[in-house]
Amino acid sequence: MANDQPCTAEDGAHSIGVCYGRVANDLPSDDQVVNLFHANGIYKMRIYDPNESTLQALKASDIDLMVGVPNENLQALSDPSAAKDWVQRFILPYSSDVKFRYIVVGNEIKYNDLAAQYVLPAMQNMYDAIKAANLQGQIGVSTSIEPSLLGSSYPPSSGSFSTNASPYIVPIVQFLMKTGEPLLANIYPYFSYVSDPDDIKLEYALFTSPGPVVSDGQFKYQNLFHALLDALYAALEKAGAPSLKVVVSETGWPSDGGNAATVENARTYYHNVIDHVKSGTPRRPGEAIETYLFAMFDENQKGPAETERHFGLFSPGMQSKYQITFN
């Protein structure tokens, strides 16, 4: 799917995906998971590595797939031949039956991480390998960032990448502008709230504020999700990428294990974020935001924080925690 096309009604109807993480020892089979996606009308999935059992289960499933390249593989993929081999092993055998949407080259790499130097070369090599396979119009190549790359984010119009992060992220942004693919971003109002509960109200993080909380010139913000996303859009404008799309590659709220981590708050957050991504942000109105909820299941081997084990929309026994309508 070309990602520089206008959002259609169908795209808006299917703008919600779910992340399928597997850091657990009690999860259902991949076939059961794919059936659970279908049963709940979820048509987009993010996985964090090219697990071949998952790819087999997704054949002929009509689920759009975002597949990750683990951070520890980035150095190897800075070699063009390794990227070609990766595509030949994990993409080509499945490309006629699995609806690959994006290859995510690294997740939440910070500018000072050892892997940072390999992200752009690995993206370029993966793009070239996809192009050589004649799949560049179908499968996008990007990376997934998190908001710590911003040096300023309040008010949203002041959003900019930090001086230290700019040499890392701006060339990536320029590459995405050239290829016409979106930047992926993990956006978590929960973590912003728990890190500064004195200044950020719970209602602002949960989309339940009765009126605007932040006034930023012509833009009014009634929820933190829109504010965080628009700070990133403002940073992209300053980086010379005013038209670059952002896909929210993770967002969620834990149901246990920490401050404000309750089933009721998580239910409120998920219901509201699904509703609010249908119509864009104050800075980019009128266009559905492709968004992936984190995560499909509680993952009992995640950590170190206890909250990390309680982001599931479903229990490992496949019971829904929140009775969500996904699209």
pLDDT tens across 251-285, in order? 999 999 999 999 999 999 999 999 999 999 999 99
* Phi and psi angles of residue 184, each rounded to the nearest 5 degrees, phi first: -100, 140
- Which pair of tokens denotes residue 186? 């993990």
Low-confidence ranges of the chain (pLDDT < 50): 1-13
Residue 12, pLDDT score: 43
State how far the Cα of 224 lies from the Cα of 231, in Å rounded to an integer.
10
Q: Which amino acid is at 305?
A: A
Compute the radius of gyration of the chain from its Cα atoms. Answer: 19
- By CB neighbour count within 10 A (0-12 exposed, 13-18 middle, 19+ buried), where does 152 fall? middle
In 10 A of CB 37, how many CB atoms? 23
Find out whether 20 and 67 touch, Cβ atoms under 8 Å.
Answer: no
Nearest CA to 82 out of 114, 124, 117 is that of 124
Write out the catalytic residue numbers.
Answer: 108, 250
Residue 3, pLDDT score: 38
Nearest CA to 19 out of 231, 248, 209, 204 is that of 248
Q: List C-alpha distances in Å: 35 to 82, 197, 220.
A: 33, 39, 41
Residue 1, pLDDT score: 33
